[in-house]
Amino acid sequence: MRLNLQSDYALRLLMQLASNPDALCTIADIAQCYGISKNHLMKVANTLGRAGFIETVRGRSGGLRLARDADAIGIGAVVRKTEGDFALVECLQANKNNCLLTPSCRLKGILGEATEAFIAVLDTYTIADLVVDNSQLRDLLNLEVA
């Protein structure tokens, strides 16, 4: 299984905001820090804002910040909001399944179970778990020690 770019960027953006909770971070600064597209990151931020994970402050001194504490933002919840679907194979896509083997195939159940297990593990962690006491991350993001 591989997460899409939106999920990857969403988690990075949330880690940046959680690592720097007392400041507003701009899309431009975050995009530059990670070397990623500003336009793509704006779409990700929009998704995270609509989902209630981040909030935006408009204006000249504006930017982004977490909408709630990092320990209240589950990684599984973020991935569910940013992934299009979790269908690993065609037969897991109800509206696009043309596989001849579906009526007797046991692989569908196994892959479905594996996907559920993957998400269940993500559900046990929060954004705080990624950033609390992580001085190396703060160093990589060029953030001052709080």
Cβ contact 39:89 at 8 Å: no
Choose between 86 and 107: higher pLDDT. 107
Q: Does the pLDDT of residue 133 top 90, yes or no?
A: no
Total-model pTM: 0.86
Give per-residue pLDDT as tens, 82-95. Answer: 997 777 777 777 77
User: 79 vs 97, 125, 135, CA distance in Å?
Assistant: 24, 12, 25
* pLDDT interval class at 99 (50, 70, 90): confident
Run of H or E including 46: helix 38-50
Which pLDDT does position 72 carry in this prediction? 97
Choose between 73 and 140: higher pLDDT. 73
User: What domains does the chain contain, in order, with CATH numbers?
Assistant: 5-85+126-140 (1.10.10.10)
Poorest-confidence range of 68-77, 92-101, 119-128, 137-146?
137-146
Give backbone dihedrals phi and psi of 100, rounded to 5 degrees, phi first.
-65, -30
The percent of residues above 70 in pLDDT, for the chain, comes to 97
Which pLDDT does position 7 carry in this prediction? 95
Mean pLDDT score, 78-85? 90
Choose between 138 and 39: higher pLDDT. 39
Choose between 138 and 54: higher pLDDT. 54
Mean pLDDT score, 59-75? 94
Distance CA 66, CA 139 (A): 20
